[in-house]
């Protein structure tokens, strides 16, 4: 039956057997660097899981490359994957394949290669070592080079260098091996170096180095390609013919999809004899449906819902593909969608869900959002590379939970727990009796007139006014040693606040000598304290404060308080007082003297003097008395907003005691211990399940990896417990140490005392003897272990506490037997039997664990709390009961409480539950902290959500997508979701977030997202050419423009395509339009601020280079956000201030996000991934240059201009630098598409013909075609001009334009201050479609009368165009007032003035404000300067500088100095015909240039065939 249908269709069509080559567009993107081997990329992938794994993998693949020769590429690739499989789970293997398809680690490998080439490598060396700057290719020389290495400076090591895990020593030489892992040469070096590193004689670092890389580039993926439909209102296409390329795309790729109801793939299989006719039928169907006739408005209205309905109507496994097809080919699918019916229940359900989403997460109809495990993935900033990183991070946590036996819903619950560290600003509890409070705002009479109500906080006041409310909102506690010089100023400051009635409650803690018998006449601190107490007792505390101040006033600057000053003060002020009774040894005013010092010691805060604001310690920098006043006022303002929020939310109510409220916040701790509170934390990984859990076999144990060792310990650990009512312990602490030493015993004793007082904690003990474990040095530990195994918990704990006391160990040392120390209530026989038969093997195992996993030396101590490692402790360092209390509190508060609550719901036995809490806590808190996870769910999901279930019993990702199928987000997201579901196991929900009542076509482009889930191979087992964006079945009538949409930090450029990629018209093409792009640069972006002013240093220049070539790229800092960007590529770069004024006036002080220490002079930045790299640099003027200005009028030094001239196309004689600079005529222009490039060449020729001054052209490189870039050097030669291609990536923070034409307009005006070197004073912009008839030197020398730029106003003389002059009415008429509206086809810019008044920053600021509205700035490059005319003045140029027929009458043409081919809104005449008609010389110029291009082509022609063959070769990896 089917056969008849097909045959009938073919007959009806009456087809001739003509097979035309399929038409289409193909775009690809190559890396600029050579292909990197898969093996090295794999090692980098594995290295992300830790250094230990990296080196194990390296050992496993020692000589793997020998297989490369005999095997096919595919089987070698499979071998690498198999080897990696020993270290990775199945999920990680899938992620590895995905990362290899993305070439995600290629930049890391190439960065090493780049660092090697900077060494530089010795000649003809497959691998070499570098020892403190000296190189050798032979391992025989290592010894010799090591001898004198210490005398040479150590090499610089980067954060992600691979250092062999030998003995940690810092005073030994560093050897860097540059080699390719897997090769024989690597193995021979590796053997020698790894042995020496294990002995501790050197530090061994490995960097990848491929001696002879294949001269092949890789095809990259992870970007989008758009074919946008252009408006053809004005015909702007070049009529020059182009030779068709020979690229053929395989149309069969698309045969497997349903096309208009036919499955052509199946039909071709079942009817091979109808092959040709089927191709024709498909083509006919395609052409009949590809009509792009515009839809009526009423047909548009419901398209979004219709697309959603169509997607949800197919089987769910095909739905994503259909969504991709509809969104990515929408212009040709639109008509078929208009026939889809939309069910009412679907509409209703979508609206209900939309209401819910807008209320809960702020997502509105038409928005596109993606969530993975609740993490929000913003598709504007994220790309496949960052998503791969997120998938890996999530895999670690999800697999961990999975391995711990947590499945399904429980996993989601635990993942969503907010286990964030409490922020860095921990506060100390200030409700302490030893604080001497000077005032109390709530009770002191001096404040009684103030209101007490909390609502006062919410009353509006002027900004900066501190509200006077009678509550102790703001508390300042100062810890002072009265004798310290710094105390003087601080006390005076406190008095100042007090006098001025600032609502600040002030308290002092005096830290003075604590000896019992002490004389105030000999110790000034004690004397001071007693005197104060006397005044406070006799009068009051505020009087005491005044006395302190007057006492300190007697102390000269630079001196400290002396006993004499105190006695004299006492005599003078209180003549009746008995000095001996007050200051002497038997003083009556000595009460609580020790309390202050004790509180200070217990609280663990830093060095004196120290202040706490609401309990939070101020940093030492903030303690400078000059700064402190401002800082405290700032703190008061900042915390006011926190209190306002608390009052508003009802957390702080009238009845609350404010101080209690502050001290009950999560960040308040009983003491400060930096070791416990630091945010740099290390955790154990409990997620492994070892094959055996035997710790008696030490040899076996030593072969386990860290995770397995940890799992064995966790399994065999015994505990002292003090359970909660539910039998569970939320906090598990392990104490490691040598218990034959006093320090070890003390530590364990403190821990046991803590357990006793704190339910819900349990303690495990690990022995780490100082020597090799034997019966003698493990006596105590074996006794502890024997009591664990034989006694009840309580008895064991009491016995061990007794054992740990010093008298017990003295008795044991004096020969007392262990059995004599046993206590009542113990089972003594069982204990003795166990104690006498315990082997020490398991203690050896514990020592290995301490050494390998905890990184302790024998005898060192550490504490592990729910997997978090604290230690090793210094020999003298104490860890007290208070510290255990703090540690427990921090552990509970940040995570353990919440985890325990969830684990409890799982209904397990208490012991297992406690183990699980510990393991989950370590896993979740070790995971890097991202943003909060959202819980996104839908009210109903039967008619509006596409749902795919995950495979059972595997780790899965919970992916929620909210998307309108007809948006740019859907174009990208549909491809991403398809690949995601191939790479990992997903539970997917896609909600159709459709918009109603569309009034215009929602999408005007075709789109492809280039992304593959695995490396693709061809049938003959070689690697396929790589990922390419293919557009087949495109309609032939519309005019298309190709856009590459790449990750933020990529700079790409077209490198090969004979076609005009700006104007693709398939009707005129045979075959495929192939466009090859190259990733030319990865951007290094940054923000720079002047530390002393806090402002960006405008005009500051940076240079970027390598050590062999320090000046490769340069840039200028913008005032907006202090932003700068530099072009770079993978490798290690050095960032410096540019020689000249920048370096003379400024110096770099600190930097963040870089790869060198923050205070290093040379800023080293390593680019080793496809991610954005953003750094922060802080600079400061040199002391002697404080008053100088970078942009001052003084002449730029000659040297600066020369260095610019030498980077540019033209290197001239350098002596006449200054003179030459004035003589050059700088012309800037932008063009895109072959027609405008043809106009551009003619414009250049017309400029050169009319001037004798040397000319330098500056072109925006971003949009020039490959053919223009190839021919411009030859043209420059023929007409002897200079040129330079400039490029700048649109900054991510500046509102992005999506339409190519508007982007180009933006480049004309928005970046004038940063596109050109500072040495260029004036630049003239000339539109590409202009013909110059005068010497532009006149325009350059024209006086702009102080304006930064000059434009020509629009002509008024052609009367019949009056109706089209939009600037004469409405907004423009009122905005401009009596000023003119200027045309942007020609303007001259005084760059010095432009930079000086920050015109660029003002223009960008205004653009940012206006461009959010899609209807404003319709002619961006022209409307913006005209709109800013009041802020940035425009000098109106004389009318004859720009004549254009549309607006100017014919009589004025005679005087015209330039003629512009403006579009004519009345006649819509095509540009080419207008040019030939209006400007007679245009045709001559055109022919002259055609002649030149012909010559260039003829000279290059013979070289082409061999070139072509070379490119078609596909090499292997």
What tokens were used for 695? Answer: 């710790």
User: What's the whole-number mean pLDDT along residues 262-282?
Assistant: 75
Q: What is the 3-state secondary structure (H, E, C) of 1183-1211?
A: HHHCCCCCCCCCCCCHHHHHHHHHHCCCC
What tokens were used for 1036? Answer: 């032939």
Cα separation, 303 vs 326, whole angstroms: 11
Given this model, what pLDDT does residue 825 score? 86
Element spanning 1149, H or E: strand 1146-1152
pLDDT > 90? residue 409: no
pLDDT > 90? residue 583: no
Cα separation, 236 vs 737, whole angstroms: 81
Mean pLDDT of the chain: 85
Element spanning 1349, H or E: strand 1349-1353
Closest CA to 954 of 49, 82, 88, 91: 91
DSSP 8-state symbol, 121: P
Given this model, what pLDDT does residue 3 score? 47
| 1434-1436/1349-1353 β-pairing | parallel
Q: Using pLDDT thresholds of 50, 70 and 90, give the confidence band for residue 1517.
A: very low
Kindly give the interhelix angle for 541-553 and 485-499, rounded to the nearest 10 degrees. 130
Give residues with Cβ within 8 angstroms of 71, minimum separation 6. 79
Residue written as token pair 């409890």:
904
Residues 282 and 262 sit within 8 Å (Cβ to Cβ) = yes
Given this model, what pLDDT does residue 1221 score? 54
Given this model, what pLDDT does residue 568 score? 87
464: burial class by Cβ within 10 Å (0-12, 13-18, 19+)?
exposed
**pLDDT tens figures, 1240-1293:** 999 999 999 999 999 999 999 888 989 899 899 999 999 999 999 988 989 988
pLDDT > 50? residue 1330: yes
Residues 1317 and 1323 sit within 8 Å (Cβ to Cβ) = no
**Phi, psi (5° rounding) for residue 50?**
125, 150
DSSP for 934-967, please give it: P----S--SSSEEEEPPPTTS--EEEEEEE-TTS
Q: Using pLDDT thresholds of 50, 70 and 90, give the confidence band for residue 1159.
A: low
Q: Using pLDDT thresholds of 50, 70 and 90, give the confidence band for residue 776.
A: confident
What tokens were used for 1189? Answer: 């200005």
Give residues with Cβ within 8 angstroms of 1392, minimum separation 6. 1191, 1193, 1321
| 871: alpha, beta or left? (left if phi > 0; alpha if psi -120 to 50) | left
Question: Measured between alpha carbons, how far is residue 1206 from residues 74, 266, 310, 1315, 1504 in Å?
Answer: 48, 63, 61, 17, 32
Given this model, what pLDDT does residue 522 score? 86
**pLDDT tens figures, 209-225:** 998 888 888 899 999 99
Question: Measured between alpha carbons, how far is residue 63 from residues 69, 180, 187 in Å?
Answer: 12, 10, 7
Residues 884 and 731 sit within 8 Å (Cβ to Cβ) = no
Element spanning 1504, H or E: helix 1504-1512
Q: Using pLDDT thresholds of 50, 70 and 90, give the confidence band for residue 14.
A: very low
Closest CA to 1329 of 1468, 1226, 1233, 1224: 1233
DSSP for 2-44, please give it: HHHHHHHHHHHHT-----PPPPEEEEEEEEEEEPPPHHHHHHH
User: What's the whole-number mean pLDDT along residues 59-88?
Assistant: 86
Within its chain, how far is the Cα of 784 from the centroid? 50
Name 1084's bridge partners: 1126, 1173
| 963: alpha, beta or left? (left if phi > 0; alpha if psi -120 to 50) | beta
User: What's the whole-number mean pLDDT along residues 300-327?
Assistant: 93
Closest CA to 1260 of 1284, 1281, 1224, 1233: 1284
DSSP 8-state symbol, 1017: B
**pLDDT tens figures, 86-128:** 999 999 999 999 999 999 999 999 999 999 988 888 888 899 9
Neighbours of 1186 (CB within 10 A): 10
Cα separation, 1237 vs 193, whole angstroms: 59
Cα separation, 543 vs 539, whole angstroms: 7
DSSP for 593-662, please give it: HHHHHHHHHHHT--SSSEEEETTEEPPGGGG-HHHHHHHHHHHHHHHHHHHHHHHHTTSS-TTS-HHHHH
What tokens were used for 900? Answer: 């325990």
Residue written as token pair 């700035």:
1417
Given this model, what pLDDT does residue 21 score? 64
Q: How many residues does the chain have?
A: 1517
Residues 862 and 736 sit within 8 Å (Cβ to Cβ) = yes
Name 510's bridge partners: 480
**What 3-state DSSP class applies to 780?**
helix
Residue bearing the bigger pLDDT, 323 or 155: 323
**Phi, psi (5° rounding) for residue 772?**
-70, 130
What tokens were used for 1341? Answer: 């020398």
pLDDT > 50? residue 1441: yes
Given this model, what pLDDT does residue 1212 score? 36
Residue bearing the bigger pLDDT, 319 or 1367: 319
User: What's the whole-number mean pLDDT along residues 296-309?
Assistant: 91
**pLDDT tens figures, 1132-1154:** 999 988 888 888 889 888 888 88
Cα separation, 1348 vs 1432, whole angstroms: 7
What is the widest separation between alpha-carbon atoms in the chain? 129
**pLDDT tens figures, 738-772:** 999 999 999 999 999 999 888 899 999 999 999 99
Nearest-10 Cα torsion for 1344, 1345, 1346, 1351? -40
Cα separation, 67 vs 1193, whole angstroms: 67
**pLDDT tens figures, 349-363:** 999 999 999 999 899
Cα separation, 1275 vs 1240, whole angstroms: 12
Cα separation, 687 vs 689, whole angstroms: 7
Q: Does the global pTM surpass 0.85? A: no
Neighbours of 1333 (CB within 10 A): 18
- In sequence order, which ranges of 272-407 are alpha helices (DSSP H)? 275-289, 297-300, 303-313, 316-328, 330-337, 344-360, 384-403
Cα separation, 423 vs 1293, whole angstroms: 28
pLDDT > 50? residue 342: yes
Given this model, what pLDDT does residue 694 score? 80
Given this model, what pLDDT does residue 8 score? 43
Question: Measured between alpha carbons, how far is residue 985 from residues 95, 988, 1014 in Å?
Answer: 11, 9, 15
Given this model, what pLDDT does residue 233 score? 59
What tokens were used for 1137? Answer: 């201030």
DSSP 8-state symbol, 572: H
DSSP 8-state symbol, 252: G
User: What's the whole-number mean pLDDT along residues 896-914?
Assistant: 89
What sign results for the dihedral spanned by CA atoms 947, 950, 952, 955? negative
**pLDDT tens figures, 699-716:** 889 888 888 999 999 999
Name 1054's bridge partners: 1077
Residues 1266 and 1057 sit within 8 Å (Cβ to Cβ) = yes
1206 half-sphere exposure, CB direction, 13 A CA radius: 12
Contacts of 1463-1472 with CB under 8 Å at 24 or more apart are 1463/234, 1465/1364, 1466/1360, 1466/1361, 1466/1364, 1468/233, 1468/234, 1470/234, 1470/235, 1470/236, 1471/234, 1471/235, 1471/236, 1471/1235, 1471/1239, 1471/1329, 1472/235, 1472/238, 1472/239, 1472/1235
Cα separation, 1422 vs 1305, whole angstroms: 8
With a pLDDT cut of 70, the percent of the chain lying above it is: 92
| 261: alpha, beta or left? (left if phi > 0; alpha if psi -120 to 50) | left
Residue bearing the bigger pLDDT, 465 or 980: 980
Cα separation, 58 vs 26, whole angstroms: 39
Kindly give the interhelix angle for 524-538 and 563-573, rounded to the nearest 10 degrees. 20
Cα separation, 1459 vs 1247, whole angstroms: 12
pLDDT > 90? residue 864: yes
What sign results for the dihedral spanned by CA atoms 734, 736, 742, 747? negative
């Amino acid at each position: 039956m089917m056969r008849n249908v097909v045959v009938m269709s073919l007959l009806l069509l009456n087809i001739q057997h003509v097979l035309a080559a399929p038409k289409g567009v193909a775009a690809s993107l190559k890396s600029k660097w050579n292909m990197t081997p898969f093996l090295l990329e794999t090692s980098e992938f594995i290295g992300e899981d830790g250094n230990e794994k990296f080196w194990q993998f390296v050992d496993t693949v020692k000589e793997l490359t020998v297989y490369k020769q005999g095997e096919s590429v595919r089987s070698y690739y499979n071998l690498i994957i198999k080897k990696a499989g020993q270290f990775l789970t199945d999920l990680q293997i899938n992620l590895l394949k995905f990362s290899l398809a993305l070439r995600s680690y290629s930049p890391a490998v190439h960065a090493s290669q780049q660092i090697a080439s900077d060494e530089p490598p010795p000649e003809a060396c497959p691998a070499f070592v570098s020892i403190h700057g000296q190189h050798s290719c032979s391992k025989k020389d290592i010894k010799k080079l090591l001898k004198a290495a210490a005398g040479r400076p150590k090499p610089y090591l980067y954060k992600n260098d691979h250092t062999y895990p030998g003995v940690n020593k810092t005073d030994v030489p560093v050897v860097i091996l540059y080699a390719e892992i897997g090769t024989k040469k690597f193995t021979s070096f590796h053997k020698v170096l790894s042995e020496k590193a294990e002995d501790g004689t050197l530090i061994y670092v490995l960097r990848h180095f491929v001696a002879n890389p294949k001269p092949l580039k890789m095809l990259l993926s992870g970007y989008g390609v758009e074919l946008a439909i252009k408006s053809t209102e004005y015909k702007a296409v070049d009529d020059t013919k182009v030779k068709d390329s020979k690229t053929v795309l395989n149309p069969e790729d698309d045969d497997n999809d349903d096309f208009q109801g036919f499955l052509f793939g199946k039909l071709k299989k079942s009817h091979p004899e109808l092959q040709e006719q089927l191709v024709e039928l498909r083509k006919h169907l395609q052409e009949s449906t590809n009509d792009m006739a515009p839809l009526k408005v009423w047909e548009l209205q419901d398209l979004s819902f219709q697309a959603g309905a169509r997607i949800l109507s197919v089987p769910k496994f095909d739905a994503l593909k259909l969504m991709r097809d509809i969104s990515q080919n929408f212009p040709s699918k639109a008509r078929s969608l208009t026939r889809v019916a939309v069910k009412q229940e679907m509409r209703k359900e979508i609206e209900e869900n939309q209401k819910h989403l807008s209320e809960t997460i702020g997502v509105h109809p038409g928005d596109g959002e993606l969530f993975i495990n609740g993490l929000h993935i913003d598709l504007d900033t994220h790309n496949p590379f960052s998503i791969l990183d997120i998938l890996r991070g999530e895999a670690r946590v999800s697999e961990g939970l999975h391995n711990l036996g947590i499945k399904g819903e429980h996993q989601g619950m635990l993942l969503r727990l907010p286990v964030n560290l409490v922020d860095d600003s921990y506060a100390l509890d200030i409700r302490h009796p030893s604080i001497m409070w000077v005032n109390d705002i709530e009770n002191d009479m001096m404040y009684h007139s103030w209101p007490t109500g909390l609502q006062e906080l919410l009353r509006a006041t002027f900004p900066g006014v501190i509200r006077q409310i009678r509550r102790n909102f703001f508390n300042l506690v100062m810890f002072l040693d009265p004798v310290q010089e710094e105390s003087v100023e601080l006390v005076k400051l406190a008095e100042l606040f007090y006098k001025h009635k600032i609502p600040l409650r002030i308290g002092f803690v005096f830290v003075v000598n604590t000896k019992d018998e002490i004389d105030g006449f000999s110790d000034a601190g004690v004397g001071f304290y007693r005197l104060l107490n006397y005044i406070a007792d006799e009068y009051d505390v505020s009087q005491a404060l005044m006395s302190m101040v007057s006492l300190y006033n007697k102390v000269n600057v630079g001196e400290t308080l002396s006993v004499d000053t105190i006695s004299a003060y006492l005599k003078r002020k209180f003549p009746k007082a008995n000095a001996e009774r007050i200051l002497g040894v038997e003083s009556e005013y000595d009460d609580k003297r020790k309390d202050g010092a004790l509180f200070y010691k217990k609280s663990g805060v830093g060095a004196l003097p120290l202040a706490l604001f609401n309990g939070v310690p101020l940093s030492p920098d903030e303690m400078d008395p000059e700064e402190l006043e401002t800082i405290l006022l700032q703190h008061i303002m900042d915390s006011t907003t926190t209190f306002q929020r608390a009052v508003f939310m009802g957390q702080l109510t009238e009845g609350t005691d404010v101080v209690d409220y502050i001290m009950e916040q999560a960040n308040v701790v009983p003491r400060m211990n930096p070791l416990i509170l630091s945010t740099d934390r290390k955790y154990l990984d409990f997620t492994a399940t070892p094959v055996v859990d035997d710790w008696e076999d030490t040899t076996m144990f030593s072969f386990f990896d860290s995770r397995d060792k940890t799992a064995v310990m966790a399994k065999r650990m015994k505990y002292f417990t003090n359970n909660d009512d539910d039998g569970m312990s939320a906090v598990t602490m392990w104490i490691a140490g040598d218990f034959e030493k006093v320090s070890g015993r003390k530590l364990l004793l403190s821990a046991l005392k803590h357990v006793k007082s704190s339910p819900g904690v349990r303690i495990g003990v690990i022995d780490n003897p100082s020597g090799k474990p034997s019966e003698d040095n493990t006596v105590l530990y074996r006794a502890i272990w024997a009591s664990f195994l034989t006694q009840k918990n309580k008895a064991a704990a009491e016995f061990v506490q007794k054992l740990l006391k010093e008298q017990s160990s003295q008795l044991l040392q004096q020969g007392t037997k262990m059995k004599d120390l046993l206590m009542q209530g113990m089972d003594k026989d069982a204990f003795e039997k166990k104690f006498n038969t315990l082997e020490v093997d398991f203690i050896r195992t514990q020592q290995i664990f301490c050494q390998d996993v905890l990184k302790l030396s024998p005898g060192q101590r550490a504490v592990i709390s729910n997997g978090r490692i604290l230690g090793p402790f210094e020999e003298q360092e104490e860890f007290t009961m208070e510290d255990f209390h703090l540690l427990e509190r921090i552990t509970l508060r940040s995570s353990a409480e919440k985890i325990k609550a969830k684990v409890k719901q799982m209904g397990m036995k208490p012991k297992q539950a406690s183990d699980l809490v510990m393991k989950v806590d370590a896993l979740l808190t070790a995971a890097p902290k991202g943003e909060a996870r959202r819980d996104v769910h839908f009210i109903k999901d039967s008619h509006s959500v596409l749902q795919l279930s995950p495979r059972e019993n595997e780790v899965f990702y919970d992916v929620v997508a909210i998307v309108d199928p007809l948006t740019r987000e859907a174009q990208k997201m549909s491809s991403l979701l398809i690949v995601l579901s191939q790479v990992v196991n997903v539970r997917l929900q896609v909600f159709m977030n459709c918009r109603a009542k569309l009034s215009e076509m929602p999408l005007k482009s075709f789109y492809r997202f280039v992304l593959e889930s695995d490396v693709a191979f061809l049938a003959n087992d070689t690697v396929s050419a790589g990922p390419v964006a293919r557009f087949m079945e495109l309609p032939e009538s519309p005019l298309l423009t190709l856009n590459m949409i790449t990750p933020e930090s990529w700079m790409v450029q077209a490198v090969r395509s004979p076609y005009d990629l700006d104007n693709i018209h398939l009707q005129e093409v045979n075959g495929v339009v192939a466009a090859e792009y190259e990733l030319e640069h990865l951007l290094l972006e940054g923000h720079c601020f002047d530390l002393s002013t806090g402002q960006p240093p405008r005009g500051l220049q940076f240079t970027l280079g390598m050590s062999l070539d320090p000046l490769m790229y340069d840039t200028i800092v913008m005032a907006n956000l202090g932003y700068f960007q530099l072009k770079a590529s993978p490798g290690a770069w050095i960032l410096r201030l540019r020689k000249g004024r920048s370096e003379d006036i400024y110096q770099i002080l600190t930097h963040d996000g870089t790869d060198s220490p923050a205070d290093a002079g040379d800023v080293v930045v390593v680019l080793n991934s496809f991610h954005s790299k953003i750094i922060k640099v802080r600079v400061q003027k040199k002391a002697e240059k404080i008053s100088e200005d970078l942009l001052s009028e003084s002449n730029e030094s000659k040297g600066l201009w020369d260095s610019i001239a030498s980077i540019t196309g033209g290197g001239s004689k350098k002596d006449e630098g200054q003179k030459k600079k004035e003589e050059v005529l700088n012309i800037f222009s932008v063009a895109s598409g072959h027609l405008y490039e043809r106009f551009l060449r003619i414009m250049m020729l017309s400029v050169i013909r009319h001037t004798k001054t040397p000319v330098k052209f500056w072109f925006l490189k971003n949009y020039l075609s490959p053919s223009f870039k190839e021919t411009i050097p030859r043209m420059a030669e023929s007409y002897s001009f200079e040129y330079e291609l400039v490029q700048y990536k649109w900054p991510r923070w500046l509102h992005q334009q999506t339409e190519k034409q508007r982007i180009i307009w933006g480049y004309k005006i928005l970046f004038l201050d940063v596109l050109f070197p500072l040495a260029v004073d004036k630049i003239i912009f000339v539109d590409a479609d202009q013909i110059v008839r005068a010497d532009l030197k006149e325009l350059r020398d024209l006086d702009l009368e102080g304006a930064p730029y000059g434009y020509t106003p629009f002509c008024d003389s052609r009367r019949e165009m009056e109706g089209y002059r939009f600037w004469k009415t409405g907004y423009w008429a009122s905005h401009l007032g009596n000023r003119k509206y200027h045309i942007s086809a020609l303007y001259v810019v005084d760059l010095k003035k432009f930079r000086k008044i920050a015109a660029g920053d003002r223009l960008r600021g205004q653009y940012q404000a206006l461009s959010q509205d899609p209807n404003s700035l319709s002619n961006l490059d022209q409307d913006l300067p005209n709109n800013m005319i009041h802020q940035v003045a425009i000098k109106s140029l004389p009318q004859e500088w720009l004549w254009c027929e549309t607006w100017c009458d014919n009589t004025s043409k005679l005087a015209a100095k330039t003629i512009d081919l403006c579009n004519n809104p009345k006649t819509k005449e095509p540009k080419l015909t207008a040019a030939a008609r209006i400007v007679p010389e245009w045709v001559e110029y055109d022919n002259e240039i055609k002649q030149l291009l012909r010559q260039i082509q003829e000279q290059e022609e013979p070289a082409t065939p061999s070139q072509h063959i070379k490119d078609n070769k596909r090499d292997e990896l």
